[in-house]
Amino acid sequence: MSGNVSAVNAQITDSVTQVNTKVVGETPAMAMGNLLMSTSHALSNAAHNATSSQQQGRITMQATTVQGVNALASVSSALVGRVRKAGIRKN
């Protein structure tokens, strides 16, 4: 072995150069794809959360309405009873 460094085959050098060029060329597309996937995932989660929140709000509103109707129904019967008692006392 002499102090010479053996030369690398030109075909190997070309192959490595082409692969490096390909990877560098594909990097922006891969980054953009990752960005779009992350964004679409976040937006779908936001839409799901909004739908779930709206559904829970509607259930709460329905329960509140039922309670309000029940309260109105019980108050009106109590008032009718009071009015009848008051009318009986006056007569």
Instruction: Determine which of 13-17, 28-32, 35-39 has the lowest per-residue pLDDT on average.
Output: 13-17
Name the pLDDT band for 8 (thresholds 50, 70, 90).
confident
Euclidean distance between CA atoms 42 and 38, whole angstroms: 6
What pLDDT is stored for residue 49 in this prediction? Answer: 97
DSSP string, the chain: --SPPPPPPHHHHHHHHHHHHHHHHHHHHHHHHHHHHHHHHHHHHHHHHHHHHHHHHHHHHHHHHHHHHHHHHHHHHHHHHHHHHHHHHH-
Name the pLDDT band for 13 (thresholds 50, 70, 90).
confident
Q: With 80 as the cut, is the pLDDT of residue 90 above it?
A: no
Q: What is the pTM of this model?
A: 0.52
